[in-house]
Amino acid sequence: MVNSDFFKNLNKAQKEAVKHLDGPLLIVAGAGSGKTKVLTSRIANIIREKKAFPNQILAVTFTNKAASEMQSRVSNILGASAVGLSWLGTFHSICAKLLRKHASAINLNSNFTIIDTDDQIRLIKNICKAENVDVKQLAPKYILAIIDKWKNNGFYPYEVKINYKDIYEKMVLPIYKIYQQKLIDLNACDFGDLILHVVKVFEKNNEIRNLYAKNFKYILVDEYQDTNLIQSRWLNLLAEKNKNICCVGDDDQSIYSWRGAEIKNFLEFDKIYDNTKIIRLEQNYRSTQNILSVASNLISNNQNRLGKTLKTTMEDGELIKLNCFKNGKDEATGLSDEIEKIKKEYSYNKIAILVRAIFQTREFEERFLKIGIPYRILGGIKFYERAEVKDCVAYLRLIHQEKDDLAFERIVNNPKRSIGDSTIKTIHEYQKKYSLSLEACSKKMLQENLIKPKAKIGLLSFINLLTKWRNQSKIEKINHVKLLQIVLDESGYSSMLKNKKDLENENRLENIKELLSAMKEFDNLESFLEHVALATSIDQEWEGEKVNMMTMHASKGLEFDVIFLPGWEEGLFPNQKSIEEKGQKGLEEERRLAYVGITRAKKKAIISFSMNRFYQGDWIDSMASRFIDELPEKFLEKNSYFDENKDQGEDFEFNQDFDLEDNLRSPGWIRYQKRIK
């Protein structure tokens, strides 16, 4: 008989999920519904009921943190009885364990090396060099992304069916063949191999597959909505004997398709496993009812979902604020003003700002630095510390001040100009003799023919460009924003990023565009550089509690008392590129992202948008996100801060006829007015 204490903290649906042990089970767990508690209680119940020994339970998570938490919770419930949960871990850790036992089946030794991303890139670069592949045209990271996609879909090189209209896939496949053979030769695996190899071993060797399929009497999977195709295949093979597979997740929080996650695994679970039991966990223990109502209404517009209705025992709480601002700068000001109002009630650590794209943090960082609100970037780097931003600033610093050796050293070979470490070392040695700046030393060494021929061409070109840019800045008086645009084009920095096709470089380009917008707020180059220097020094002085900034993607699994959701504008959110590339699927994933963002809030949620954005040095008209139309009005408090002469704390209807000059009204604002009237 199970100890009655075991279930005392579980609600009705949770108890049902814990007690239903036999057969396939899909637990649709809404945000904040206690899914980890259910999973751990279920493991404990299996052991208590003597349905299986601990080593006959396979429990799979996506992170080591989640696995450790699960192990700890089961141990707290069962004590010594929990010893022996040897198959509780991440997909990769469990597959690595399996693969070491059966490495010979795929021509590896059991002591194979698992290589990291840096090693992968190094190997790809070597292959590209040997095969005369231009890495400027085809970036190693992009090559790896395509290879990873193929592995996530379960394809060895000889199984890949390429899209012949995609020139990149045609170029990558031969590299994939060589890369995979190299890994075998090196007795090594990458992370994608760990699952792929095990699946191939299971599919080709019935004896090995049956050994584990029989042993694992119960299989439990966390965050099932984030699984990819090869992970799903692996689970199917292991579950084929006993059929006791329990998957927990939330289809409304499937936001990682760009990482290979396949929501179809979740939505079609009952088609894969006959006689599936579906249990919905709809009791939320995190948010107020108003927050849940807004989130639920929004996500109900998605067609591809199983559906659930979140409810809470908590009070209704405050209405969700929907704020409209004239521009992004005003939005940052309004947001900081709100934080100042609530900081006595909520500590900085319990406040978060969630953006769609990381470049959006810049305006908020600038505002916080100005008024002294400490902040941190979770899952990312602060704006002025991002590599591409530091590179741009270094170029500008060196143009402004030719004795800036630190800036010189950072960008002299960025992008690549055949100026290697040995050349830099030689210049440093020369500097010790003559006590000149690195740039001055470089000029003298070029005159004295002390630089090797290949490096000489690159260094001379760089020096000549610096001279040209300084003339443009100081003699021709070219605007500092225009100057950076010229520098990026003529140095080859822009083309370096544009030619390397991957998501990371796209983000870098967006950050540079945002930097150009930031620069326009300053009268000249000197004042901008001074601002950057002061901004980074102020930031270093902050200790203790800080406001959290992050992307919505990075916020998944976290919770905060107060959530700010700025930038809800068409094109920005939902993201235009996502819709263009994936159509309706892309739009629904963007909506799920909005749902994730709102449900991070425990007590207060503030959504905002601007009528104008400063982008790449120009004002663009914006329009409120279509998601705003999908928010139920009765749960909203609408505020407009468009009229600068109005009291910022005063609330009034969006469709109020403002007494403003026509030229202050953007087309985006006018369109929005028409929509809400």
Residues with catalytic roles: 35-36, 222-223, 253, 600
Cα 498 off chain centre by: 20
190 DSSP assignment: -
As to burial, measured by CB atoms within 10 angstroms (0-12 exposed, 13-18 middle, 19+ buried), residue 79 is exposed
Phi/psi for 561 (5° steps) reads -65, -45
Residues 6+ apart with CB under 8 A from 403: 437, 439, 440
575 DSSP assignment: B
What are the tokens at 83?
A: 């010893």
CA distance 255 to 586: 10
Sign of CA pseudo-dihedral 359, 360, 361, 366:
positive
Residues 6+ apart with CB under 8 A from 70: 36, 39, 40, 43, 59, 61, 88, 222
> CB–CB of 246/57 below 8 Å?
no
Q: Any bridge partners for residue 247, and if so which?
A: 26, 221
3-state SS of 327-339? EHHHHHHHHHHHH
> CB–CB of 174/196 below 8 Å?
no
What are the tokens at 502?
A: 């991957």
Sign of CA pseudo-dihedral 625, 631, 634, 636:
negative
Sign of CA pseudo-dihedral 245, 251, 253, 257:
positive
Q: Is the peptide bond before 667 cis (omega within 30 degrees of 0)?
A: no
